[in-house]
Structure 1
Amino acid sequence: MGRKLAVGTVVFGGITLLGLPLGLLWWLIAPRPEATVTSRGLAYYPLSQTWFAVDGHYSLMMLVAGLAVGYVCYLVQQRVSHRHRLDLRLPTLLGVAAGTAAGSLVAWGVGVGLDLRAADDALLLAGPGDVVRTGLALRAHSALLLWPFSAVLQYGLFEALTLWQAEPDDGAEESARTGAAAGSGGRPGRD
């Protein structure tokens, strides 16, 4: 039980830490939307395509990260389980699910946090009517679920495929038994 808990914890921690470089990558490649400064703050209307591009960059990164993490974790789990003769499927899957959820939040926080100071400074220096670049913001919060969803789906598909390939074909076994019985004259008990 201790080894399984350790495996789940390592998977969780390792994947959560992947949120740091993913957040940095999002911060580097995502475009920055512009907003007009008004006397009440920022006006984001009319919405530009840039707002959707920010969410799109984050979403695409999370989907790709999920597919990669699900695949790599499944392969590593298979090797470690085979080498140590332990069933590590459930702790690994739980670590993947929890780690990707936490990592998604970390990536979001890093991307938004790196832009926060610059956006605030630009807003302080601007006057009403000025157009300023805003910081990163994730408007589609459902994108936070894309990394866990794609990772668990990828992991589960590989597990299902492995289980399906490992199942013996009942029809082949039955035909082998009837073929052996027919070869012995239909009397299976005779030597």
Structure 2
Amino acid sequence: MKRLVQVISLSMFVFLGTNIAAATSIVSTSPTAGSILSISPSAVSIKANSDLVEGANSIEVTNPSGVRVDDGSVQVQGSVLLVGLKPLETSGTYTVSYSLMVIDEESASGTFTFIYNSPGEVTMATPEPTTSEDPLSTNNPNRLTDLFVVALLIFAFIVLVFLSRYAKKTFNTPSKPKVQRKNPSTSKKFLK
């Protein structure tokens, strides 16, 4: 009985494993699914895990309004499915719908999107000439700031003069070191 369970388990694993391995899967896309582009791509490509069947695959690209923007020239190059694009003009989310067919494997179909941000027309503004007034004749809003800075400099100079005089008085007084002299004692000492 134990042997029968092992044989059944092994056969289920082999059959299920081959079906799982036989499923067609996407290896990569160009443009990458979910990417944001600022330059219009010239083609969309999908790479599968195995070589694709010639003529059995489809791919369509639609703009945000649902209008088809691919040129319809679907090409298969080994495991790569490729379709050309018309120049993209509208900003928004573009949808790529595909169906891939590989020999001896299940087909894969699905969609992915990418975002295209159309660059706007760049217009250069031409500068218009203006008349300038004499800077001395107008009221300069920075004049008050200039006066404040000059007043601070004068105040700082006065404080400097005051502190230097104070320091001179305080630290420049001659201080004579007081030497303690021994006063001769008036008492008589007896010598023995």
Using the size of structure 2 for normalisation, the TM-score is 0.24
Q: Which structure's residues are more often strand, by fraction? A: 2
Q: Which structure's residues are more often helix, by fraction? A: 1
Which is bigger in relative contact order (C-alpha 8 A, separation at least 6)? 1
Using the size of structure 1 for normalisation, the TM-score is 0.24
Structure with max Cα Rg: 2
